[in-house]
Amino acid sequence: MKYLIAIIISIAVVLFIINIVDLNRYVVRSVAIFDPKVKKKLKVCFVSDLHNYSVTPKFYDDIKEYNPDLILCGGDTITATPKKKQTHAYEFLKELSKIAPVITGMGNHEYRAKIYRKKYGDMYDEFERKAKEYNVEIITNGSRYFEENNICVSGVEIDRMYYKKFRKIHMDDSYIESLLGKVNTDRYNILLAHNPDYFDNYSEYGSDLTLSGHVHGGLIRLPFIGGIAHPGIRFFPKFSGGAYNEKGKHIPYADSYVSSQSGIIRMLVSCGIGYHTLTLRLFNPGELIFVTIDTK
């Protein structure tokens, strides 16, 4: 019995140490995507779910070394906690804007601060002010077209009911189009859509590449399984983190170049950078994702 207790304690200590390490580190992922609709290569840095976390100077140095043409944020840069100062979030936007043009979509935390003003006060207004101050573009159910590349970046803000706990709410096939308008399929379309649960709807709309976050990698990641938890209080989410092909099948980052075996990458789900509520990132470090989009 003593040996069993000793083993349990030892395992708990090891897991505790791994969690502390993963909470304070990040990994760099690199993805290459080729599409004939693209006229000129675009180097994109994708970050998501900062949650007002303080990153190290090396984080920015890694982005500078990649030298992106564009930085895309997947949302939840802030954490919607009443009266909580978002100092690190705004410092993050400021530093990113020094490197390359920045576009951010809306996460559920920005959305929450926006619609529940009695609870969160002027938190969202401050977010908008800071974004404007640092020349960060917030795309809310709109688009930005990069003519030189023939690439369109859109950001969709879905209703709060699609973030319900315990179950996934059905989304009508026409819903995304009702928010964004008809897609131009002659362009390569990137969609910033914070919640990856609705990948099928994003693809049906006409997104060539969806960039999502929200799930935080599933808190704990296991080999061959992926993340085990979902913010909607569900277990083993289908899209917890990584690259996915047109059929929603997970593609290991090592095999992320387009091939007949892996298929075309249609969605990238960031495991995020920071955390909130639960101080947990086990086998699940933060992620910095570099995406090179080029013509065939």
* Separation of alpha carbons 74 and 78, rounded Å: 11
Using a cut of 0.85, tell me whether the model's pTM lies above it: yes
How many residues make up the chain in this entry?
296
pLDDT for residue 256:
60
pLDDT for residue 259:
45
* Separation of alpha carbons 115 and 109, rounded Å: 10
* Separation of alpha carbons 195 and 237, rounded Å: 12
pLDDT for residue 257:
57
Cβ neighbours, 10 Å, residue 168: 15
* Separation of alpha carbons 155 and 144, rounded Å: 9
Residue 57's Cβ-count burial label (10 Å; 0-12, 13-18, 19+) is: exposed
Domain chopping of the chain, boundaries:
2-294
Per the DSSP assignment, residues forming a β-bridge with 289 are 29, 46
Query: φ, ψ for residue 226 (rounded to 5)?
Result: 90, -150
Ranges of the chain whose pLDDT falls below 50? 259-260
Query: φ, ψ for residue 178 (rounded to 5)?
Result: -65, -25
Two tokens at 40?
């000129």
* Separation of alpha carbons 212 and 272, rounded Å: 9
**127 and 95 in contact (C-beta within 8 Å)?**
no
Q: What percent of the chain has pLDDT over 90?
A: 90
* Separation of alpha carbons 22 and 44, rounded Å: 25
DSSP of 124-189: HHHHHHHHHHTTEEE-SSEEEEETTTTEEEEE----GGGG-SSSPPP--TTHHHHHH----TTSEE
Name the fold adopted by 2-294: Purple Acid Phosphatase; chain A, domain 2 (3.60.21)
Picking from 222, 227, 108, the residue whose alpha carbon sits closest to that of residue 165 is: 108
Torsional class of 91: left (φ above 0), alpha (ψ -120 to 50), beta (otherwise): alpha
Picking from 184, 233, 263, 34, the residue whose alpha carbon sits closest to that of residue 255 is: 263
